[in-house]
Amino acid sequence: MSDLPQSAHVLPRPSRTSRPRAESAPVTVPPFVPWGGPPPAPGRPGPLNGLRLTVKDVIDVAGLPTGAGHPRWLETHPPAVSDADAVVALREAGAELVGKSHTDELAYSLNGTNAHYGAPANPAAPGRACGGSSSGPAAAVASGAADLGLGTDTAGSIRVPAAHTGLFGYRPTHARVSRTGIVPLAPSFDVPGLLAAGLGTLRAAAACLLGGAVAAGRTVRLHVPPDLWAVVSPRIGAALAPALRRLTASLPIDRTPVFEGDLLCWERTHAAFTAVQAAQAWDVHGPWISRERPEFGPGVAARFRAGSQVTRDELAPAAATVAAAAGRVAELLAGGGVLALPTAPAPAPPLPTRPIALSPFPGAPPSAEPLSAPLPVSQPGSPSGSPSGSPSVSRSGSPSVPSLFGGSPPVLPPGALRATTVRLTCLASLAGAPALSLPVAHLDGLPLGLSLVAAPGQDEALFDLATVAMPQTPATPAQDARTLGR
């Protein structure tokens, strides 16, 4: 506890003339921001006593600046006068704050990189990104510099870093946790969330964040929709299959598609979610961006530019589509259903080998990642007519995965990787539902996550089910062969 990382102590804020530029930013940086940590202090008595807490730098801590991943934001906002409500809940339960940690620019990225400051190193996959935008908390917990990370999740910013760094990640029910004291991005989808290396630690912290547990509902079925699993390679599906086997040992499996018979419905839902998120992000940050004219990395610049161009005529049908999709998710999960899906479509991507170029808003270089990208097409000729990579079901009801040794993890360009990831993560976000990303597997030495999503309010049921998904004893090759239909 006394070995507080040096970078976590309070240091002077950089001036505008000396702020880091893309040309000099290191490829990797420590997880803690240099302006965001108190001196070591004993934690208060409570259920989290002795646990070291790091807080994503979009969340207020009294007396410290909130930098929001951008040096111009740091310069133009005074230090916080009080702790965010989520910080209060965890500190009052005994957690010891050891520092604030990096985030992607204004939390509007899933990459885990920052054109101004660099990218936190991924201890679980050296040379690869942590994922974002809660990249700093994930790096701190994965490296052992903190026991608990408090971040935010709008479109997967807790779940994706959890998957890429081999951690447990928790997105609470949207309505159950206060967002006061947090720099918003898209308020309809924003929620504080948690990262931890152990499920017990995560559950204890979640109970404090929620302000007390409610009676957990009974999980009665597991949804494994083929349309959602179609975006991952057969090898990723096979790596996640043992966790599905453990879950379906005691639960019936339901393979009803989320979007029945028409993947274009999924395309429209993703496009609508992206438009609503972008419009809300511009509503929140547009006045500051227009006044300060900050520089952004290309992907973030492109998304803010797109948000500035969403018209009311476009926003109304997009919001209606999001509401319809939320209703569809609620219908599937009603009465004890839980959705199981890959947290991300691929393992952590390699970090860029060169600093990311900055772009003055609203300009962006032609190489800027698009706001959306086409959904990967299922390969023809997949066994039993299943989409490539999607788990099928054997006659016994156990999940199986075709083409176990076929294909490799997809290597997607940044725009396509983000778009495909958001197609998976947006369902919990738009439904306001709780989600847990579980570190259940590795592929080629890289962590993979399996996400469980329950109906809003059923957070406790997710934690109960998560204990079933985690391996208690290693499965034998013969058991996995039977699970995979071989």
CATH number for 87: 3.90.1300.10
Separation between Cα atoms, residue 95 and residue 38, nearest integer Å: 13
Q: 373 and 460, same structural domain?
A: yes
Is 215 a domain residue?
no
Q: 158 and 258, same structural domain?
A: no
Rounded to 5 degrees, φ, ψ at 448 are -130, 150
Q: 189 and 295, same structural domain?
A: no
DSSP string, 72-100: HHHHHSPPPSS--HHHHHHHHTT-EEEEE
Q: 149 and 231, same structural domain?
A: no
Q: 360 and 231, same structural domain?
A: yes
pLDDT of residue 121 exceeding 90, the answer is: yes
Share of the chain above pLDDT 90, in %: 71
Residue 357 is classified by DSSP as: P
In this predicted structure, which of 25-39, 209-223, 419-433 has the lowest mean pLDDT?
A: 25-39
Q: Which of 210, 234, 252 is the last residue of a domain?
A: 210
Is 180 a domain residue?
yes
Is 92 a domain residue?
yes
Q: Looking at residue 42, what is its pLDDT?
A: 63
Q: 226 and 206, same structural domain?
A: no
Q: pLDDT class for 82, splitting at 50, 70, 90?
A: very high
- The boundaries of the domain holding residue 450 are 221-483
Three-state secondary structure call for residue 400? strand
- Mean pLDDT over each residue of the chain, to the nearest integer: 83
Q: 252 and 199, same structural domain?
A: no
Q: pLDDT class for 399, splitting at 50, 70, 90?
A: very low
CB 143 within 8 A of CB 323: no
Q: 148 and 241, same structural domain?
A: no
- Closest of 296, 58, 89 to residue 154, by C-alpha: 58
Q: 230 and 198, same structural domain?
A: no
Q: 303: which 2 tokens?
A: 């998304």
Separation between Cα atoms, residue 358 and residue 107, nearest integer Å: 16
pLDDT digits over 51-67, tens only?
Answer: 999 999 999 999 999 99
Q: pLDDT class for 96, splitting at 50, 70, 90?
A: very high
Q: Which of 210, 243, 262 is the last residue of a domain?
A: 210
Q: Which of 157, 178, 210 is the last residue of a domain?
A: 210
Q: pLDDT class for 370, splitting at 50, 70, 90?
A: very low
pLDDT of residue 385 exceeding 90, the answer is: no
pLDDT digits over 226-240, tens only?
Answer: 999 998 999 999 999
Q: 191 and 150, same structural domain?
A: yes
Q: Looking at residue 97, what is its pLDDT?
A: 95
Question: What total of structural domains would you count in the chain?
Answer: 2
Using the Cα atoms of residue 44, residue 49, residue 51 and residue 56 in order, give the sign of their dihedral: negative
Half-sphere exposure of 363 (CA within 13 A, CB side): 6
pLDDT of residue 21 exceeding 60, the answer is: no
Is 15 a domain residue?
yes
Q: pLDDT class for 404, splitting at 50, 70, 90?
A: very low
Residues noted as catalytic:
56, 133, 157
pLDDT digits over 138-171, tens only?
Answer: 999 999 999 999 999 999 999 999 999 999 999 9
Separation between Cα atoms, residue 465 and residue 13, nearest integer Å: 44
Is 1 a domain residue?
no
Is 141 a domain residue?
yes
Q: What pTM was computed for the model?
A: 0.84
Q: Looking at residue 262, what is its pLDDT?
A: 57
Is 216 a domain residue?
no
Rounded to 5 degrees, φ, ψ at 388 are -55, 125
Q: 254 and 227, same structural domain?
A: yes
In this predicted structure, which of 159-163, 183-187, 378-382 has the lowest mean pLDDT?
A: 378-382
Q: Looking at residue 264, what is its pLDDT?
A: 54
In this predicted structure, which of 2-11, 275-284, 362-371, 411-420 has the lowest mean pLDDT?
A: 2-11
Is 243 a domain residue?
yes
pLDDT of residue 383 exceeding 60, the answer is: no
Q: 61 and 29, same structural domain?
A: yes
